[in-house]
């Protein structure tokens, strides 16, 4: 909420309900809290879901306003207030069913108390309160989060926001890394990229962008279904996330190219030619190539001799295979088979910890390949 004089200023009536943790049902509703879950962006995401009978919203010119505060247990003197406004369209008096709404916020490790209310223009109130806790399991303690313990932030709704500058290391020459990303949905039948798919793939790129050992980035975004390169950035000092996000708007996953259907081995032909050009066709050789994308079940494999023109690749190649259901999707896909043929390494990314520890190992292997020694994860 807007800050005035160093503190958020909710309406007096709202503040009174929140301060006393009242439970009211003047406006009938059911609210359920969302347990904090760690995202691929290495932040805990929490929030709520609320259901309101449509008949309670009958009429026109209505609006629902949610106001809530989140109080860190470690800093009870520093509550964070949020507000959310939902315009209500005209609804018939005999309407059946429910309206389902939700809200979200991000937290760091710690315990929090949430006081929540929703009101309509008639000042009817539904209110509730609950406690949540975000905690890393012991085996993940070495994984640094991208949000401080006890912090409360608004949910980040812009996945392609610009990345802040990174202070690069001066001890060694900067590494040059090429990232090749297949921006495609986990579900091959989906006609659009889902937020969870985008979040995982962008998180991999941000993990690279934040590593102080990398000084030059090349990024190639492509889509297997459309068999085309969507975005390209060569030898830059950082990754241009806003430009990447704008380019991805050109994806049109709901259509099928008839020319592709007419070719029996269309996917294998595209992938072998694409990887040959991207890995072996650039005179400015990187120190490593990292390929990322969703695990595609049933993809036709690339014949081993299709990549023979590459010869011996003189830098390591890695494949970060985004696969939310590894138990139901075993074996290599087409990209994994090609990386295996190039004597590269494959990592399965199913959870945030997989992404962090895989990137840590990959960077250590790149440093060893470049300088002949290993290196731990950079401090943040």
Per residue in 138-195, pLDDT tens? 999 999 999 999 999 999 889 999 999 888 767 668 899 999 999 998 877 777 788 8
Residue 168: the pLDDT is: 76
pLDDT in tens, 264-322: 566 778 888 898 889 886 777 899 999 999 986 555 677 767 777 676 788 999 999 99
Residue 257: the pLDDT is: 62
Entry pTM: 0.86
pLDDT in tens, 185-235: 887 777 778 888 899 999 999 999 999 999 999 999 999 888 899 999 999
Residue 361: the pLDDT is: 97
Residue 256: the pLDDT is: 64
Mean pLDDT throughout 323-352?
A: 85
Mean pLDDT throughout 233-239?
A: 94
Whether residue 379 has pLDDT greater than 50: no
CA angle 84, 199, 281 (to 5 degrees): 150
What is the Rg, in whole angstroms, of the alpha carbon atoms belonging to the chain? 25
Bridge partner list, 107: 44, 152
Q: Encoding tokens for residue 258?
A: 């008839």
pLDDT in tens, 3-21: 555 566 788 899 999 999 9
CA distances from 246 to 163, 200, 275, 365 (A): 15, 18, 24, 33
- Asked if 288 and 320 touch (Cβ cutoff 8 Å), the reply is no
pLDDT in tens, 105-127: 999 999 999 999 999 999 999 99
* CA–centroid distance for 369 within its chain: 29
- Cα(349)–Cα(23) distance, rounded to whole angstroms? 42
- Cα(317)–Cα(351) distance, rounded to whole angstroms? 22
Q: Which domains does the chain have, with CATH numbers?
A: 3-154 (2.60.40), 175-371 (3.40.50)
Average pLDDT of every residue of the chain: 88
Please compute, for residue 317, the number of CA atoms within 13 A of its CA located in the half-sphere on the CB side. 22
Residue 380: the pLDDT is: 45
pLDDT in tens, 246-261: 999 998 876 666 566 5
Q: Encoding tokens for residue 52?
A: 């309101």
């Amino acid at each position: 909420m807007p800050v005035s004089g160093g503190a958020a200023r909710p309406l007096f009536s709202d503040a009174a309900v929140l301060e006393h943790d009242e439970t009211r049902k003047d406006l009938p509703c059911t609210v359920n809290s969302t347990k904090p879950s760690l995202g691929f962006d290495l932040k805990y995401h929490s929030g709520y879901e609320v259901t309101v009978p449509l008949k309670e919203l009958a009429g026109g010119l209505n609006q629902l306003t949610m106001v809530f505060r989140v109080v860190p247990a470690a800093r009870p003197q520093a509550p964070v207030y949020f507000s959310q406004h939902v315009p209500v369209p005209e609804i018939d008096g005999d309407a059946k069913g429910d309206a389902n709404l939700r809200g979200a916020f991000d937290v760091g490790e710690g315990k929090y108390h949430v006081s929540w209310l929703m009101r309509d223009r008639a000042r009817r109130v539904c209110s509730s309160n609950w406690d949540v806790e975000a905690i890393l399991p012991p085996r993940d303690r070495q994984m640094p989060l991208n949000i401080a313990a006890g912090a409360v932030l608004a949910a980040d709704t812009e996945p392609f926001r610009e990345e802040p500058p990174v202070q690069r290391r001066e001890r060694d020459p900067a590494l040059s890394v090429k990232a090749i990303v297949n921006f495609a949905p986990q579900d091959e039948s989906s006609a659009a990229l889902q937020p969870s798919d985008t979040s995982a793939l962008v998180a991999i790129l941000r993990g690279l962008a934040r590593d102080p050992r990398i000084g030059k980035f090349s990024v190639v975004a492509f889509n297997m279904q459309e068999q085309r390169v969507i975005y390209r950035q060569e030898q830059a000092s950082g990754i241009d996330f806003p430009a990447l996000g704008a380019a991805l708007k050109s994806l049109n996953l709901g259509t099928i190219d008839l020319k592709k259907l007419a070719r029996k081995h269309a996917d294998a032909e595209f992938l072998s030619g694409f990887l040959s050009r991207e890995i072996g066709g650039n005179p400015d050789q990187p120190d490593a190539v990292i390929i990322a994308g969703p695990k595609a079940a049933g993809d036709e494999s690339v014949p081993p001799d299709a990549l023979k023109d590459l010869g011996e690749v003189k830098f390591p190649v890695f494949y970060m295979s985004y696969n939310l259901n590894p138990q139901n999707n075993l074996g290599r896909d087409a990209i994994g088979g090609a990386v295996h043929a190039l004597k590269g390494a494959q990592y399965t990314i199913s959870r945030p910890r997989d992404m962090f520890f895989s990137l840590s190992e990959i960077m250590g292997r790149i440093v060893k390949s470049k300088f002949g020694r290993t290196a731990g994860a950079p401090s943040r």
